[in-house]
Structures are given as C-alpha cells and as structure tokens.
Amino acid sequence: MSLKLSTFYNRILSITNIHVLLALCAAHCLNDLLQSVVTAVYPMLKTELNLDFAQIGLITLVYQIAASIFQPLVGYVFDRRPFTLSLPMGMCCTGTGIALFAYCGTLTGILISVFMIGLGSATLHPEASRITSLAGRGHRGFAQSVFQVGGNFGGSIGPLLVALIVAPNDRHHVLWFLIVVALCFMSMRPICSWYGNYLRTMRQSAEMASHNPLPLSKSRTIFAIAIIVVLIFSKYIYMTSLASYYTFYLIERFGVTVSQSQVCLFVFTVATAAGTLVGGPLGDRFGRKIIIWVSILGTAPFSLLLPHVSLPATVILSFGAGFMLSSAFPAILLYAQELLPNKLGMISGLFFGFAFGVGGIAAAVLGDFADIYGIIGVYNFCAYTPLLGIVAALLPNLKNKTNMA
C-alpha cells in the first residue's frame, strides 16, 4: 500500500509545476498566518478595550464580510482580465491592515484594520486558487491540497507566534508580523513570473478561446451548488466555533491560561492542516463526493463528545474534528470548479467568500449566543451542525466527467 502511495505521489511530482505549487503554498501559509493573528489576539483585545463577546463577533463579521463580498468580484474581474501582479496587490492591503491593527486603540480603528486585512484575503484566495488549478494540470486535487495546507499551517502557527511574541508583551508587538508580510512578497516572485509566462503563452494560442463543456445540465448544476452551500454552512458554523471561541471555552471550562489555550488552538489548527493535505489527493483518486460526505458527516462523533469530556480528551477530540472537517474543503472547492470549468477564479472567490461570510455571520451570532447562554452553551449547540453533512449523498458524482488541465 505504501509503495502504491509513493508511486502515486512520485507521478504527481513529475507532472505538476511543483516549484510553483510550493511557492503558492508558502504564500498561502504566510497570508493565513497574518489572518490568524487577528483571532489569536482576541483575548488581549477583549481585556484591553473592554469588549463583550458581541463586539468580538462584530470584529470577525467585518473581516469576514470584507473578504466574502470582494472575493467573487475579484475572481470575476481577473477571470476576464488576468493580472500578473494581483497577489502582491492584495498583500499590500494586508500589510496596511496589520500595521493599523497593532496600534488602533478604538473599536472603530480595529474594524478598519480588519477590513483592510479582509481585502487582502479577498484578493489572494481566488487568484491563488485559480493559479493553483492551472499549475496542477491533471492533479488538481493534489495541487489544491498543497495550496490549502499552506493556509492551514499558517493559521496554526499564527496563534503560537502570538503566544510567544505578543501575549507576554502588548498588542503593539503585532508590528513584528510585518516581517511575515515581506516574506510573503518574496514568495510571490516565482508565482508572478510563472503566471506571466503562462498568460503570454495562452494569448498566443487558440487555447485561450477554448471552453470546457459543462459536466451537468443547468438545473442539475444549480441543484449541486445548493447542496454545496448547505455543506459549507454546516462546516463553517462548527469551524468558526473552534477558530473564534475555542480559547474562551478552554479558559472558562478548564481554567487554563491564555498561553495554554493558544497551544491547544495550535493542536486544532495543525489537525486542519493534516486533514487538508489528505483530502485533495483522495478526491483525485476516489472522487470528490465520497470525500465530502465522509469528511463532514464524520466530524459528528467528535463534535458531539467534545463538550462532555476532560481537557486532554477535549484536545484529542478537537484534533479529530479539525482533521475530518478540513479534509472536505479541497474536495468541495474542486467539485464546484468542475461544475463551472470556465470560471475558475469566480467560483473560487464565490465559495471562499461564502465560506468566510458564513464564518463571519456565525461568529457574530455565536458571540451573542455566548453572551446570553454562556460559551459552553455554544459548543453544546454547534456539536450537531456536522450532521448536516448527510445531504452530500445527494450530490451527483462527477468522477471522470471532467478533466480540466
């Protein structure tokens, strides 16, 4: 079995533009590291500015709405008019937002800073996802997993770096993360170079004008997208409960310190990185539908047990939930791209954006819920949302119906 898996990955490496994929992985890692700084600083921000959970939820909502509204727009614009320097342009917004976030002393200032960070995310995700699909050629699941795992890993080390750099000092130390912004610009250089060459080649060939046929009829495509929307709704409600409020839950229920809670959050985010790396290649091999179905519904046993166990068991169950749930997103995104193969950027932006939007709305709603019923009540409620994954059984099977390069 291990020999077959090794042969499978060796064949992938020989076909894909692996140096571009690794650069995309690094850019996604550094970008999402910067994004995760915002939520990791929440406990300090809450104390410093005397915020309640509803205001914490509002901060997340503004960030997520900025990202979700602009992502499909960015994808649509650059589908029509590809731009080689789109990724560095987005990182300029993120860097500006990080600098503001380090020093703003009012809720209004914080909202402006996270809005800027959201704009940067809105540019990177659809554009980098489109380039990933192009660079991955016939192994798009593997390519998306490499790209996505970079984001998950960056999101996992962000809270850890906050615990080491910011938590022992003050929020102004967030400014050190501008070094990460500079590293991200560096990682984008080979991507921009490859993408520029790709665009020049396409403009000189008839392939630029070609279109891939739709795998399903219009009505079945609409139905499939509706099912995907339900699945994203299910996934990101529970994911938001962990990403935004897990540290508060651990502090209230088990009395851990802020730094200890960040280490536990690190365990969860590492699990999401591992799950993402597995989900894409398995989707290439067995089809997207089965991976989506198993990943989301398979999270339910972990989520249902988590509110009722000890601290060590909670950490273990959060790892299992993060691993299972995160393995679904590469398959979901690629399934959506295969439904509309001529709109890679727009569909990537739409689903990244919708995922962020659901996360933002969920953060605000769960914040109000926590103020009324307590943070433990949030986890008792959210434990049931992965059960919605059962609707994945209604998705049409697209395996072998499309073969986009």
Domain boundaries, the chain: 17-200+215-394
How much is the CA Rg of the chain, to the nearest whole Å?
20
Cα gap 156→184, rounded to integer Å: 17
Cα gap 28→129, rounded to integer Å: 10
Distances (CA, A) of 343 to 73, 175, 229, 348, 371: 12, 37, 18, 8, 42
Q: In the predicted model, is pLDDT for residue 399 greater than 80?
A: no
What local confidence, expressed as pLDDT, does residue 405 receive?
41
The tokens 């999402």 sit on which residue? 32
Which pLDDT band, with edges at 50, 70 and 90, does 116 fall under?
Answer: very high
- What the block records as the tokens of 229 is 């929307």
What local confidence, expressed as pLDDT, does residue 321 receive?
92
Which pLDDT band, with edges at 50, 70 and 90, does 63 fall under?
Answer: confident
Which pLDDT band, with edges at 50, 70 and 90, does 209 fall under?
Answer: very low
Which pLDDT band, with edges at 50, 70 and 90, does 171 fall under?
Answer: confident
Q: Would you state the torsion angle of the CA atoms of residues 70, 71, 72, 76, taken in this order, to the nearest 10 degrees?
A: 90
Q: In the predicted model, is pLDDT for residue 133 greater than 60?
A: yes
| Answer CATH for 17-200+215-394 from 3.90.420.10, 3.80.10.10, 1.20.1250.20, 1.10.510.10 | 1.20.1250.20
Q: What would the pLDDT profile of 248-264 be if each residue is shown by its tens digit? A: 889 889 988 877 887 88
Distances (CA, A) of 96 to 100, 181, 237: 6, 10, 29
pTM here is 0.70
Q: Are 58 and 115 in contact (CB under 8 A)?
A: no
Q: In the predicted model, is pLDDT for residue 69 greater than 50?
A: yes
The helix, strand and coil proportions of the chain, stated in percent and rounded to the nearest 5, come to 85, 0, 15
